[in-house]
């Protein structure tokens, strides 16, 4: 069979399966994210019927999915809201790093993997998944909630911190000189500063580049700019998601409103592909030996992320229920954790780090998807109300 024909058949069959299973999940009041992951696992490495022809298509689609998720999330907020959120969440960012990186480092030492693996595993447990959380907030209708700006501020701080962390980790695992590592960090930071400056100070100029009421040029222009900035950011070891998010922040007015409208269907398609691709690239057989260690690590770091989210929301004056929503929403880890593990293993650090990170990410995504819905349950709300009115001892 011709390769293109096989590609069309595989992609079509997977999209149809995603539609049917996603509809079933929604009917039962469950997020479709775990369903997409399981579908990818079923047809990925070690699955019942591995799909090879469509792997590259889904890889590119998954990258576009994360970019669009963050770009449309950025369109919901102004540059002033972002800047205010970052200033007010500096302490939360520090707490986030300490609470969530240290357990990963300690776990690596506990397994006897050494200091380099400890630095890598600290990053795996530290950074939440912007893509997963963006979809959860949208699916649950929480983009306008009071706790959401704090959640986004933590995510942006984490992604910006990756501009420092990834070049440093690369220098450590590859063994390059201190000067080369410092140059990589300096370039990454300079790019972040330039993108932030343009987004915060000249966003209105960027918006004028696009016709607000001509949907086809608007779609092509905003999508093109978003992918261009994301690609340039990734080239200098800055998160592509950060670049896409800041493009969304830079746009305002009717341009932002209409851009969100025309890009939404594309986001829904490629975001779903992102989760399926994650499952497609996961080998079941490699996960089995690491399930229990990953589960133990996940239990600890889910708890620390909940504490991080609650602390962030409380500092913003959000009520107790909103604090729980913020805590649960931050628990999924994702794309960065896999990138960090792959970077370390590719450089010869402990091979077991890759299956551990993969199992860990799967557990936190599935658990986080269900935990994020807990605050909407009547029994949970009642328990929070009782806790809120309980007199101090």
pTM: 0.74
Q: What tens digit of pLDDT does each residue of 318-359 get?
A: 999 999 999 999 999 976 787 788 777 766 778 888 789 888
Q: What tens digit of pLDDT does each residue of 281-305 get?
A: 777 777 788 889 999 999 999 999 9
Chain mean position to CA 222 = 21
What is the model's pLDDT at position 5?
86
Using an 8 Å Cβ cutoff, are 248 and 70 in contact?
yes
How far is it between the farthest Cα atoms of the chain?
73
Segment 34-56 mean pLDDT: 75
Express the helix, strand and coil content of the chain in percent, nearest 5 each. Answer: 80, 0, 20
In angstroms, the CA 145 to CA 141 distance is 8
Q: In the structure, what pLDDT confidence band is assigned to residue 242 with cuts at 50, 70 and 90?
A: confident
Using an 8 Å Cβ cutoff, are 278 and 37 in contact?
yes
Q: What tens digit of pLDDT does each residue of 86-125 get?
A: 677 778 888 999 999 999 999 999 999 989 899 999 999 9
In angstroms, the CA 161 to CA 93 distance is 9
Q: In the structure, what pLDDT confidence band is assigned to residue 390 with cuts at 50, 70 and 90?
A: low
Lowest-pLDDT range of 239-253, 286-300, 309-323: 239-253
Architecture of domain 3-283+294-389: Up-down Bundle (1.20)
- Where exactly are the structural domains of the chain? 3-283+294-389
Q: What tens digit of pLDDT does each residue of 132-157 get?
A: 898 889 888 898 899 998 898 898 88
What is the model's pLDDT at position 1?
63
Residue 314 has pLDDT above 80, yes or no: yes
How many residues are there in the chain? Answer: 393
Q: In the structure, what pLDDT confidence band is assigned to residue 29 with cuts at 50, 70 and 90?
A: low
Report phi then psi at 146, rounded to 5.
-65, -30
Residue 70 has pLDDT above 60, yes or no: yes
Percent of the chain at pLDDT exceeding 90? 28
Q: What tens digit of pLDDT does each residue of 157-202 get?
A: 887 777 677 767 767 766 655 566 667 667 767 777 777 777 777 7
| Residue 66, helix vs strand vs coil | helix
What is the model's pLDDT at position 393?
47
More confident call, 239 vs 218: 218
């Amino acid at each position: 069979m011709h390769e293109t024909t096989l590609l069309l058949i595989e992609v079509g069959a997977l999209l149809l399966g995603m539609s049917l299973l996603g509809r079933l999940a929604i009917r039962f009041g469950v997020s479709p994210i775990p369903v997409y992951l399981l579908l990818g696992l079923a047809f990925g490495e070690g699955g019942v019927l591995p799909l090879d022809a469509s792997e590259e298509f889904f890889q590119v689609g998954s990258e576009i999915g994360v970019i669009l998720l963050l770009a449309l999330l950025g369109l919901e907020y102004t540059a002033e809201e972002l800047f205010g959120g970052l200033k007010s969440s500096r302490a939360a960012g520090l707490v986030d790093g300490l609470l969530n990186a240290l357990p990963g480092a300690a776990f690596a030492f506990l397994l006897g993997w050494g200091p380099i693996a400890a630095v890598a595993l600290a990053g795996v447990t530290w950074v939440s998944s912007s893509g997963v959380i963006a979809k959860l907030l949208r699916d649950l209708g929480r983009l306008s909630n009071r706790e959401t700006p704090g959640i986004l501020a933590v995510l942006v701080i984490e992604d910006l911190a990756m501009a420092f962390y990834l070049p440093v980790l690369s220098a450590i695992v590859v063994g390059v000189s201190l000067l080369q590592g410092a140059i990589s960090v300096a370039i990454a930071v300079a790019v972040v500063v330039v993108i932030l400056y343009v987004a915060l100070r000249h966003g209105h100029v960027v918006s004028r580049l696009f016709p607000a009421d001509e949907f086809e040029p608007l779609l092509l222009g905003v999508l093109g700019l978003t992918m261009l900035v994301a690609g340039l950011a990734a080239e200098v070891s800055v998160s592509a998601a950060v670049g896409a998010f800041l493009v969304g922040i830079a746009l305002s007015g009717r341009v932002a409103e209409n851009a969100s409208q025309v890009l939404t269907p594309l986001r829904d398609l490629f975001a779903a592909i992102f989760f399926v691709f994650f499952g497609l690239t996961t080998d079941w057989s490699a996960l089995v030996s690491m399930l229990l260690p990953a589960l133990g690590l996940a239990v600890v770091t889910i708890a620390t992320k909940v504490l991080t989210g609650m602390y962030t929301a409380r500092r913003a004056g959000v009520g107790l229920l909103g604090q729980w929503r913020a805590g649960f929403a931050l628990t999924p880890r994702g794309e960065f954790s896999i990138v960090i593990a792959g970077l370390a293993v590719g450089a010869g650090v402990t091979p077991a780090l890759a299956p551990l990170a993969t199992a860990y990410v799967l557990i936190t995504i599935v658990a986080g998807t269900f935990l994020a819905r807990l605050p909407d349950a009547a029994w949970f709300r009642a328990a929070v109300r009782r806790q809120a009115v309980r007199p101090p001892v």
